[in-house]
Copies of this chain bind each other. A is one copy, B any other.
């Protein structure tokens, strides 16, 4: 069933429960009016997903919305920011109310999980695509950036890596995909709690969207540094290792991307503080290596063999 733009916004979006603070004026005017609490910096990030490029045409609308939101909020987590507001630019070939209902449900679920309010957007007709901009805040000077890693800092990652790519593989090749791996692809968890905990700990941080090696390289290249990774320490889930060879699992973990876990560096003088915080977090974190002065990425296997690794990640063009 086709619905006109204003009805569509009212029915599927303006009625969603709102969770973010500081909204002076939300959907329905020329702009939203928002208030950043005193002493905080605004953190913003925009992401676009295009059908056929970033998601398969058949993906259920609910999963698409939830996944897109998680991927975008993950950028706030990587800055140590607290989520607050969301804008959505949605392009659809037709205004199909079944599809919109599913999309709205998935979006609403994610908004509740991350504490977001939908404050504005645009709906247009065209090839299916969506742009999401998330807005959050972080106390001035406490944001986690990509610049700041120093030789000797330990390198950590959250959760397990490679699961999302395995989930996509399951989706594309298995009649009965593994539910855990599928869930890791469809329902990434933006590590907000971890980002907040790292504010006064990490020297640098980012989220893993293009692949561990490619993303880690973003941390290194600003300062012309290198990293040594203990390959046996890369966290792999039991299900991943059960379903795939260790080699395949490690390849996805290093190069696959889409996991939306955090990768961060901890300086030696904050290590103790970090180790004391760690057990109180709901996500596991693993130390996987160290920053070194010599540029380049080196993998070290269990036998102590060292080999250079290429930082090739997902190329958008």
Contacts and interface: CB of A to CB of B under 8 A. Distances in A.
A315 B124 CA distance: 10
Contact of A44 (B38, B53, B119, B315): B119
A117 interface: no
A129 B129 CA distance: 9
A125 B50 contact: yes
A79 B25 CA distance: 11
Interface residues of A, number: 68
B316 A5 contact: yes
Interface string A80-107: 0100010111010011000000000000
B133 A87 contact: yes
A30 interface: yes
B206 A48 contact: no
A316 B125 contact: yes
Nearest to A76: B31
A153 interface: no
Contacts of A125: 50, 53, 316-317
A3 B29 CA distance: 39
Contacts of A81: 31
A108 to B, nearest CB: 19
A122 interface: yes
Copies of this chain, how many?
A: 2
Interface stretch (A138-146, A249-257, A294-302): A138-146
Interface in A102-130: 119-127, 129
A176 interface: no
A145 B42 contact: no
A268 interface: no
Contact of A89 (B32, B46, B75): B46
Nearest to A262: B30
A275 interface: no
Contacts of A94: 317
A317 B1 CA distance: 12
Contacts of A78: 30-31
A279 B312 CA distance: 61
A175 interface: no
A13 to B, nearest CB: 13
A286 interface: no
Nearest to A24: B41
A34 B41 contact: yes
Interface string A26-62: 0011111111101001111111111111100000000
7 contacts: A2-B317, A25-B143, A30-B76, A34-B44, A46-B87, A47-B122, A50-B127
Interface of A: 2-5, 8, 24-25, 28-36, 38, 41-54, 75-76, 78-79, 81, 85, 87-89, 91, 94-95, 119-127, 129, 131, 133, 135-136, 138, 140, 143, 145-147, 206-207, 315-317
